[in-house]
């Protein structure tokens, strides 16, 4: 089978890291007999927005909705386009309209990456954050009353549906069950957020009954963030609401020093719609155009994409190559104390794939 991939580099360093991601994907595909076909799109970018006054063409869903996956660079350029236009006009639109209800990010201490935590070494930290990606705190329900007076107030609803909560929990429990430690941690705040969060807890308990082989626990989000710093070795799969997952999936990579190289998947597990794979970093206008951006986030996202497509061996070959590349100072980029540029680092990973 040939996989059709929509490639959207987006803005800023997105355009620089994507060619390296593609280089590595092509190498791994060839080595492992996987057939990939790439279609390139220029929307979701400032250039496109400047020309058309919107982030994407009206028929964006027809253009990319039938692909097997979307490989995405970076979007957002606050100095030129307000976030609510650029992000809500592309990334968040994908999540909602392609029902990508899982946001998946690894937290892994890699060789060669300076760790901000004391006394941790590669192997100590290796878990996944599973984030609900369509509802929860990111709702569009709410408003303002008595504007510009002393009585002014705004409200915004957090919305949790049975469907939305159960399906993300199911995904997280299944992931936990597939891993050696079989351990799931739920992020909650039911002692303070007294309506939605007790409901989340209730559904976790119900779902846990269906996965008797998975050990599970829960922490309130405040102490959970503390435990990411103090005991990152405790975790295996961590599941949270849209907001809690957002926080934990930035904090986790920060704790392993990998925020600049972390990958992510916005996944529709049923495959009714394509999933989006993108580095966690943004378009970084400040360093764009210099050829120094670290391509590992994009490359690693490519590995996650292969994994999602069912090509696990090819995906793993890339992650292994990343680890071997990062271990060599001469092959890492400057942000990690190395001296390679974007292309040299990308080529190094491609060479390491086997």
Ligand X SMILES: CC(C)[C@H](C(=O)O)[C@@H](O)C(=O)O
**Strand 35-40 versus strand 183-188 pairing type:** unpaired
Which of the listed partners (ligand X, a second copy, none) does 2 bind, with a CB threshold of 5 to 8 Å by partner kind?
A: none
- How many angstroms separate the CA atoms of 310 and 304, rounded? 10
Contacts of 352 (CB under 8 A, 6+ apart): 320, 321, 322, 324, 325
- How many angstroms separate the CA atoms of 157 and 191, rounded? 18
Of 159 and 344, the one with the shorter C-beta distance to ligand X is: 159
Residue facing ligand X at closest CB distance: 192
Asked if 156 interacts with ligand X (CB under 6 A), we say no
Facing residues of 69 across strands? 5, 275
Interacting residues with a second copy (CB under 8 A): 83-84, 87-88, 92, 115-119, 137-138, 140-144, 149-163, 189-196, 199, 221-223, 225-227, 229-230, 242-243, 246-247, 249-251, 253-255, 259
Query: What part of residues 60-89 is at the interface with ligand X (CB under 6 A)?
Result: 87
Coil vs helix vs strand at 119: coil
CA atoms within 13 A on the CB side of 213: 10
Of 249 and 268, the one with the shorter C-beta distance to a second copy is: 249
Which of the listed partners (a second copy, ligand X, none) does 193 bind, with a CB threshold of 5 to 8 Å by partner kind?
A: a second copy
Which of the listed partners (a second copy, ligand X, none) does 79 bind, with a CB threshold of 5 to 8 Å by partner kind?
A: none
Asked if 192 interacts with ligand X (CB under 6 A), we say yes
Of 127 and 244, the one with the shorter C-beta distance to ligand X is: 244
Number of residues that bind ligand X (CB under 6 A): 5
- How many angstroms separate the CA atoms of 43 and 252, rounded? 31
Of 132 and 311, the one with the shorter C-beta distance to ligand X is: 132
Of 246 and 311, the one with the shorter C-beta distance to ligand X is: 246
**Strand 142-145 versus strand 183-188 pairing type:** unpaired
Asked if 191 interacts with ligand X (CB under 6 A), we say yes
Among the listed residues 47, 222, 233, 354, the single contact to ligand X using CB under 6 A? 222
Of 68 and 137, the one with the shorter C-beta distance to ligand X is: 137
- How many angstroms separate the CA atoms of 349 and 11, rounded? 23
Which of the listed partners (ligand X, a second copy, none) does 154 bind, with a CB threshold of 5 to 8 Å by partner kind?
A: a second copy
Among the listed residues 68, 126, 137, 246, the single contact to ligand X using CB under 6 A? 246
Asked if 226 interacts with ligand X (CB under 6 A), we say no
Which of the listed partners (ligand X, a second copy, none) does 143 bind, with a CB threshold of 5 to 8 Å by partner kind?
A: a second copy
Asked if 11 interacts with ligand X (CB under 6 A), we say no
Which of the listed partners (a second copy, ligand X, none) does 321 bind, with a CB threshold of 5 to 8 Å by partner kind?
A: none
DSSP of 34-84: -EEEEEE---SSHHHHHHHSSSS-TTHHHHHTTSSEEEEEE--BTTTB-HH
Which of these, 45, 40, 56, lies nearest to 5 by C-alpha position?
Answer: 40
- How many angstroms separate the CA atoms of 27 and 74, rounded? 23
Which of the listed partners (a second copy, ligand X, none) does 344 bind, with a CB threshold of 5 to 8 Å by partner kind?
A: none
**Backbone CA torsion sign across 308, 309, 315, 316:** positive
- How many angstroms separate the CA atoms of 94 and 99, rounded? 7
Q: What are phi and psi of 263, to 5 degrees?
A: -105, 170
Which of the listed partners (a second copy, ligand X, none) does 51 bind, with a CB threshold of 5 to 8 Å by partner kind?
A: none
Of 225 and 317, the one with the shorter C-beta distance to ligand X is: 225
Q: What are phi and psi of 135, to 5 degrees?
A: -135, -130
Q: Which residues bind ligand X (CB under 6 A)?
A: 87, 191-192, 222, 246
């Amino acid at each position: 089978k040939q996989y059709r991939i929509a490639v959207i580099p987006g803005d800023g360093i997105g355009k620089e890291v994507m060619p390296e991601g593609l280089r590595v994907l092509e190498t791994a595909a060839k080595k492992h007999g996987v057939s990939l076909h790439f279609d390139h799109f220029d929307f979701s970018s400032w250039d496109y927005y400047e020309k058309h006054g919107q982030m994407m063409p009206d028929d964006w869903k027809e253009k990319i909705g039938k692909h097997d996956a979307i490989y995405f660079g970076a979007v957002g350029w606050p100095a030129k386009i307000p976030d609510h236009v650029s992000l809500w006009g592309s990334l968040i639109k994908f999540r909602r309209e392609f029902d990508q209800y899982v946001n998946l990010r690894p937290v892994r201490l890699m060789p060669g990456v300076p760790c901000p935590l004391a006394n941790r070494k590669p192997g100590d930290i290796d878990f996944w954050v599973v984030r609900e990606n369509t509802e929860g705190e990111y709702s569009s329900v709410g408003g303002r009353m008595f504007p510009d007076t002393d009585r002014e107030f705004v409200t915004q609803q957090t919305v949790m549906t049975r469907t939305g909560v159960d399906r993300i929990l199911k995904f997280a429990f299944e992931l936990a069950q597939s891993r050696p430690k079989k351990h799931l941690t739920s992020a909650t705040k039911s002692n303070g957020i007294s309506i939605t969060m007790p409901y989340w807890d209730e559904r976790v308990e119900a779902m846990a009954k269906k996965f008797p082989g998975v050990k599970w626990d829960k922490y309130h989000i405040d102490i959970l963030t503390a435990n990411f710093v103090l005991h990152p070795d405790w975790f295996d799969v961590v599941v949270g609401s849209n907001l809690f997952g957002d926080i934990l999936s930035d904090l986790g990579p920060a704790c392993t020093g990998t925020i600049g190289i972390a990958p992510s998947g916005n996944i529709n597990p049923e495959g009714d719609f394509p999933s989006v794979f993108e580095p966690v970093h943004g378009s970084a206008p400040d360093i764009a155009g210099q050829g120094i951006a670290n391509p590992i986030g994009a490359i690693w996202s490519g590995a996650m994409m292969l994994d999602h497509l069912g090509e696990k061996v090819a995906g793993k070959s890339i992650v292994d190559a990343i680890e071997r590349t990062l271990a060599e100072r001469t092959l890492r980029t400057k942000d990690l104390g190395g001296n390679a540029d974007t292309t040299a680092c990308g080529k190094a990973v491609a060479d390491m794939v086997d």
